[in-house]
Structure 1
Amino acid sequence: MDFQALVDGIGAMTCVVSVEDLGNGRYGKICIVTGNKGYIDSIEKPAPGAELLVQKFVPNSEYTNYLTKDLNFEDYSYRAAVEGKCLHSYAKPERMQGIWFNMSFIPIGHRDGNICYCLYIMEINFSADTKRLSNVSSDTAVGVLDTCIKLRSSRDFKETMGEVIEDIREQCDASYCCILLVNSYEMKCTVLCESYKDKSLKISMNDYLDADFYELAQSWNTLISGSNCLIAKNEQDMEVVKERNPKWYKSMVDADIKSIIIFPLKFREDLLGYIWAANFKSDDAPKIKETLETTTFILGSEINNYLLMDRLKILSSKDMLTGVMNRNEMNNLIDKIYNLTDDNPNSVGVIFVDLNGLKTVNDEGGHVAGDILLKNAAAVLEEVFLPSDIYRAGGDEFTIIVTGISESELLEKVEAVREAAEHYENVSFAIGYCYDENKHNVKEALRIADERMYEDKKKYYEMHPEKKKR
């Protein structure tokens, strides 16, 4: 068959791909037989950002001569050449920045022994073409639209994401599906949502999130190896996973995972995390890929908005130096308790804590020494109270507000604070506290605790006249 005449008759960048059929769903070498001028120019005269491993086309060379091993390219080539299927994909490979590929794989009715052939036709876009992104099957479109509606009408983002991941798992017919967030600033991973096919199986991804897991998640970029995702659908594909990431491969074998699909979740070029599914229906791999390619495009934007709002909430509610809650959050809590209209009065305990000698530390050691002292003061309080109950009310003042506490428990905690402070250098507190059986009297309790704190501070300076007053 005259392959050269075939590709020369096609206007788009086109090449002929050969696949060695080994039977039973396995394949050997995948080669680029020949290409038309447009395709050869894409190798020898590439557009900026679209450079391959070499810039010289050699007929009948293995495709890995031009790009790193890509299981997605191999799967589509096999399905087109051997199984006779027409396939399409619109994707942005991670190996190429800012470039989208519109790709078609078309079977060729010619076979040389166990060598089968297909056409690979591609178009390069330097920005995402929304029309092409939305040009998906009706089933995929319905699934993505359902996801969008759920997210847009959601009042509880995490709860809705639980429903979304359940839908995605069912679409993939997978035993397990998960969205894992990756925080590069704090160098940690967190599970956003997960779904199990077997409801009795409750081995959560959280069980694996130890101190070393972030490093493992970082290695997934190498595992994907420049493609837009990784789909390992059978034993042959899993051997590639074993070669690229033996540590993760072993953990999957231990968990009886025989197939895996993993997609990066990004907003623009920023990595937010990964979505992955285990033990999916391998025959539906192209459909699953299409579904996740479109869905992750939507999820990346939604998750980024969620993380941004979460970050803004932290900035508005936490003291960035000590990590405890700030005065703004304290005022919100006081107003909430004071204005509650419930019939249950409940109790409230208030403790005012003021650092002794912060000015002296600042004068002698500078603001860095003062910041360390403030952090240590917060650490003392966190040994006794939850961080959500501690508020930095001012420069060296902290307030603790706890409801539903008994007076004896409050006194025990005051003494525990004094004892904990003894283990930190220069940490000395003036403390005032007040207990009231009715939480609606919180403002009066705050006033009394404040007065008692200043009485305690006065005694401190009477005992330590060498210390400078504020």
Structure 2
Amino acid sequence: MEKEWADIKKEISQYRSSGDNKNRLYALSEHYFAMADEAVDIAEVYTEEIVQQSRTFLIIVICAFLVVVMMVTIFTYQQEKRRRRLLEAEAENRRKSEQLARQSQQMLMPINEMTELMYVADIHTYDLLFVNDAGKKLFDIEEFTGLKCYKALQGFDKPCDFCPNAKLSKDETYTWEYSNPVIHGHYLLKDRLIDWEGREARMEIAFDITESLQKKKELEKRIKRDNILIDCIRELYQNHHTVDAMNHVLKLIGEVFEAERAYVFYMENDEMSNIAEWCREGITPEIDNLQHLSRHDYKWWFQLYDEQASIMIRDVRELQGDRQAEYELLSGQKIERLILVPFERYGNFGGMIGLDNLSVEVFEDAEKFLRTFGYFIMLAIRRNEDEKTLYRLSYMDTLTKFYNHNRYIQDVEEFSEKETTVGVAFIDVNGLKEINDRFGHEAGDQLLQTGAAIMQSSVPEGNLYRVGGDEFVIICPDVEEAEFRDIIQKLKDTFNREECKAAVGYEWTHSCRNLKAIIRSADQKMYEDKEQFYQQHAEAGRYRH
């Protein structure tokens, strides 16, 4: 149409200029208007199509919008429903959390009320996750968050070498004992593997058994000391050599009380002497320097002993000044502390038992032990004295201090089992009956004592026996014949020089198994010698026997 419009404009321009081509202009105009009508029609059709398309699109858009609105509505509804469910779940979770918190608090309340330590620690990081009130108090912990169990509870800078984590399981409780270096207590520990707020952790409950352990140790010490006391009593009872027995038991006592020296003093004739002593290795014995201590020189000690009081000195320096002499005596022996316990003898002070430089912690126990032991020491000493008395009465002649007939019979049996050489002398003191009749038995006893002295000086190594009123036997085991004959000759020469006269018969043999036979032979020779005496002293012949 642009071309046709250009042609019309051109024709109009020519028509105006010349007035010609009217018809052509009209024809072009008609043609143009026809084209315009056609264009309008086309435009209307196009417009109608566009409108229809727009209507269709709008319907589609509206439908789509409605769908979207429906979907949004449904989604909103679902979201609201979900939100309500979440809110309900959140409320339920909050309720459950509050309930769990209450339950946790209720559970922690008895845990915090426990007197035993209880804590929870992460087994991988060693972080403390919980410590009950007892644990906080024990270890002075205000806030445990960020603390390591090995640092807070053990004082270490790294995980404990004895950490039981590797030994734990959720099915079993691991039980063990440990002495804590921070609070210096001994504990029975029960450990178990648990889940704690989503973390793998070790729960430990510690039972303080320090007192029980101390009682156990004290009981063990008491039992040990009782056993030592029994051993000491057994030794004193079985060993009849009292001093040897004392030396043995003093070693036991000194060791059990960790002393440097243990000793026994015995009182006799108003003097006190150290009769037995044990010293730890490296300690100088003092027994030789502590003999015949007089009561006058140690008045303070003896005053306490007479009162049956124990002397317990924990530091000898406390004696300086008021007890300077005692301080110098003890310090000179390098004694820093000691305990002295007296024992009785027939109701009076009989002696004492002492320990030097023993452990301070055992003073009281040592004093009780020594008091009990002192009783058995006294029994042993009395028994020893009684045995000596009984021995003297059973085997010794009280007048001459020679062995008596009982010991003679016993020794003859024992010697007869030996193979050694032996010499025997049979001796009879001459004139005893005459002396008794003329001057009395005291003079007769004096005669026998003189004769015994002659035998003792002439035969210092032999066994001397008084086997009858005026009869004596001398047995010299393990002696050569020549030596024995020299002894007998000395004996005879001495009797010949003294007023006390005696008949002597003797015999020597290679074997003690012939002892009884040579005793009879010596006896016979004695009678022969006696016969010669009475032949030379006719006035005494009527007293032959």
- The TM tier, using the shorter chain, reads 0.5 to 0.7
Q: Pick one of 371, 389, 401 that aligns with 2:463.
A: 389
Note if 1:287 corresponds to 2:365. Answer: yes
Counterpart in 1 of 2:303? 222
Contact preservation (8 Å) 2:395, 2:403: yes
Which residue number corresponds to residue 354 of structure 2?
276
Contact 2:427 2:473 in 1 (8 A): yes
Alpha-carbon offset, residue 191 of structure 1: 6.2
> CA offsets, 1:307-330, max 9 Å, x none?
323432232111112111111011
Deviation, structure 1 residue 167: 1.3
Query: 1:292, CA displacement in angstroms?
Result: 0.9
CA apart distance, 1:430: 1.4
Tell me, yes or no, if the aligned pair for 1:140 and 1:291 is still in contact at 8 Å: no
SS of 2:398's equivalent? coil
Give the SS at the match of 2:281.
coil
Which residue of structure 2 aligns with residue 379 of structure 1? Answer: 453
Task: Indicate yes or no: 2:517 matched with 1:439.
Answer: no
Please state whether the residue corresponding to 1:346 is helix, strand or coil: coil
Residue in structure 1 matched with residue 230 of structure 2 by the alignment: 148
Matched, 1:319 2:397: yes
Q: Which of 149, 162, 167 is residue 252 of structure 2 equivalent to? A: 167
Cα deviation for residue 259 of structure 1 reads: 4.5
Does the 8 Å contact 2:274/2:290 carry over to 1? no
Aligned pair 1:452/2:452, yes or no? Answer: no
SS where residue 469 of structure 2 aligns? coil
Does 2:279 match 1:196? yes
Q: In the alignment, which residue of structure 2 is the partner of 1:328?
A: 406
Aligned 8 A contact 2:503 2:529 in 1: yes
**Conserved 8 A contact 1:324-1:388:** no
Measured after TM superposition, the shift of residue 410 of structure 1 is: 0.9
- Which of 412, 417, 428 aligns to 2:501? It is 428
Question: CA offset at residue 364 of structure 1?
Answer: 3.3
How many Å apart are 1:390 and its aligned residue?
0.8
Pairs aligned (count): 322
TM-aligned CA distance change 1:182 to 1:415, over 3 Å: farther
- Once residues 400 and 296 of structure 1 are traced to their aligned partners in structure 2, the CA distance between those partners, rounded to angstroms, is 42
SS of aligned partner of 2:259: coil
Output the CA distance in 1 between the equivalents of 2:381 and 2:465.
Answer: 29
Within 2, Cα distance between the matches of 1:215 and 1:412? 50
Q: How does 1:255-270 map to 2 (within 5 A)?
A: 255-257=333-335, 259-266=337-344, 269=347
In structure 2, the partner of 1:55 is none
The 8 Å contact of residues 351 and 401 in structure 1, kept in 2 or not, is answered as: yes
Contact 2:465 2:472 (8 Å CA) reproduced:
yes
Per the alignment, do residues 337 and 277 of structure 1 end up closer, same or farther by CA in structure 2, a change over 3 Å counting?
A: same
| Matched residue SS, 1:276 | strand
Q: Which position in structure 1 is the counterpart of 2:146?
A: none
CA RMSD of aligned residues (A): 3.6
* Stretch deviating more after TM superposition (402-411 or 353-362): 353-362
Preserved contact between residue 350 and residue 433 of structure 1 (Cα < 8 Å): yes
Alignment of 1:93-104 (within 5 A): none
1:12-41, Cα deviation, whole Å (9 max, x unpaired): xxxxxxxxxxxxxxxxxxxxxxxxxxxxxx
2 CA distance for matches of 1:420 and 1:280?
60
Instruction: Return the alpha-carbon distance in structure 2 between the equivalents of residues 449 and 456 of structure 1.
Output: 10
Quick one: structure 1 residues 376 and 286, their matched pair in 2 at CA, closer, same or farther if it must change by over 3 Å?
Answer: same
SS in structure 2 of the partner of residue 325 of structure 1: coil
Higher share in strand: 1
Give the Å deviation of 1:286: 2.4
Cα deviations by residue, 1:426-451 (Å, 9 ceiling, x for unpaired)? 32221111001011000011001111
SS at match of 2:425: strand
Question: Is the CA contact (8 Å cut-off) linking 2:429 and 2:503 kept in structure 1?
Answer: yes
Q: CA deviation at 1:241?
A: 9.5
Contact preservation (8 Å) 1:349, 1:402: yes
Q: TM-score, normalised by structure 1?
A: 0.59
Q: Is the 8 A contact 1:238 1:258 kept in 2?
A: no
Q: Answer 1 or 2: which has greater helix percent.
A: 2
Matched to 2:355, the amino acid is A
DSSP 3-state at the match of 1:349:
strand
Offset, 1:181: 4.0
Helix, strand or coil at the partner of 1:321: coil
Amino acid at match of 2:353: I
SS at 2:230 equivalent: helix
Question: Kindly tell me: are residues 439 and 213 of structure 1, through their superposed partners in 2, closer, same or farther at Cα, counting changes over 3 Å?
Answer: farther
Question: What amino acid does structure 2 have at the position aligned with 1:334?
Answer: V
The structure whose Rg is larger is 2
Q: Deviations over 1:240-295 (max 9, x none)?
A: 9957xx6x887656544455433333366265543233344455432321221222
Distance across 2 between alignment mates of 1:406 and 1:356: 29
* Matches of 1:367 and 1:432, distance apart in 2: 26
Alignment of 1:179-190 (within 5 A): 179-183=264-268
2:465 pairs with 1:362:
no
Alignment partners' CA distance in 1, 2:329 and 2:453: 37
Q: 1:403 aligns with which of 457, 466, 477?
A: 477
Rounded to whole Å, the distance in 2 between the matches of 1:278 and 1:421 is 57
- The CA distance in 2 between the partners of 1:241 and 1:307, in whole Å, is 39
Higher relative contact order (CA 8 A, sep 6+): 1
Verify the 8 A CA contact 2:408 2:465 in the aligned structure 1: yes
- For each residue in 1:349-371, what CA deviation from the matched residue of structure 2 results, as whole angstroms up to 9, or x when unmatched? 11112112222332333222222
Note if contact 1:172-1:288 (Cα within 8 Å) is conserved in structure 2.
yes
Per-residue deviation at 1:195?
0.9
Kindly indicate whether the alpha-carbon contact (under 8 Å) linking 2:304 and 2:310 is maintained by their aligned counterparts in 1: no
Describe the shift of the 1:163–1:463 C-alpha distance in structure 2 as closer, same or farther (beyond 3 A).
same
The answer to whether structure 1 residue 465 and structure 2 residue 538 are counterparts is yes
Task: Give ranges in structure 1 of 5+ residues lacking alignment.
Answer: 1-135
**In the aligned structure 2, how far is the partner of 1:267 from the partner of 1:358?**
43
After TM superposition, give the deviation of residue 199 of structure 1 in Å. 5.9
